[in-house]
Amino acid sequence: LVSAVEKNDMLLVCVVLNCGPMFQESAQLLNECAENYRIYDLTSFYDYQKTIEVFNGAKKYAKIGTKKHFFYPLTDDEVEKLNFVYDYKHFVSAPQKKETEVGTIKTFLGNDLLFSEKIYTIDDIKPRSISQRMKDFFSKW
């Protein structure tokens, strides 16, 4: 028997093979999943610095971020076991184009990798102007 139900913003599908009361078994499994699981946007749990330092840039900092969302069904206990590994540069040199890759975020449930996503610059990173460089030079002189 293949059965499905849409509940709590999830489409739950159940397949039972060679069991006695297949309709009851399927209904029980679907109800258990609907009661115990919720869909989470795992990207909403990200906790990393949203800017990086810019060397020789018109601005001292550049915004960084991700492009995608990742939705995944989890129990409350599993949410507590989520782990995020951030590997990104803490500075870039100007100039850089918009959406320059600066790192990655990996999402783990225990030891299992669920999702990996790239981190990008949000805007173009422009170099300092000649007048800015001259002001900096004379202010240090």
Quote the CA–CA distance of 62 and 53 in Å, as a whole number: 6
Q: What is the pLDDT of residue 134?
A: 75
Q: What is the pTM of this model?
A: 0.81
Residues 6+ away with beta carbon under 8 Å from 79: 40
Q: What is the pLDDT of residue 140?
A: 75
pLDDT of 141 higher than 80: no
Q: What residues are paired with 15 via a beta bridge?
A: 2
